[in-house]
Amino acid sequence: MVKAIDLKTAGCTVFEGDESPLTHEDAESLCEQLHPDWAISVDNRSLSRNFRFRDFYETMKFVDQVAELVHKEDHHPYFEVSYNRCMIRYTTHSLNGLSVNDFICASHVDTLWEPST
């Protein structure tokens, strides 16, 4: 069981090598702190969300903001970017699954997103 953590105020940690990926139950528990559009994959190895924007400029502005944020946390997602859409997917490669870092970064990304009107 993962200890209680406030994802919005937490920072990513470096793994020492003996960690295991989160269980599905722990991942679901952490996901409750995120925007409901985040989804855990069926195999419990990734966390993803789609974002929609008015135009390419807004999409790229968001991608740049996320890039700056994840660079500071040193925990980088996969991006799929098109004209008015961006999909972000997190996984922790060293664990071959999900870690608390994935949920911390997803929470920080949530604070950047402002839906287009």
pLDDT grade for 116, boundaries at 50, 70 and 90: low
pLDDT, position 17: 73
Q: What is the pLDDT of residues 51-104, one digit of tens each?
A: 999 999 999 999 999 999 999 999 999 999 999 999 999 999 989 999 999 999
**What is the full DSSP assignment across the chain?**
-PPP--TTT-------S---PPPHHHHHHHHTTS-TT-EE-TTSS-EEEEEE-SSHHHHHHHHHHHHHHHHHHT---EEEEETTEEEEEE-BGGGTB--HHHHHHHHHHHHH-----
- Diameter of the chain measured on Cα atoms: 46
Q: What is the pLDDT of residues 7-16, one digit of tens each?
A: 998 999 988 7
Mean of pLDDT values over 35-49:
97
Measured between alpha carbons, how far is residue 105 from residues 54, 56, 57, 83, 117 in Å?
24, 23, 23, 24, 25
Mean of pLDDT values over 29-36:
96
pTM, to two decimals: 0.91
pLDDT, position 15: 80
Set out the domains of the chain in order of their start, with CATH numbers: 24-112 (3.30.1360.20)
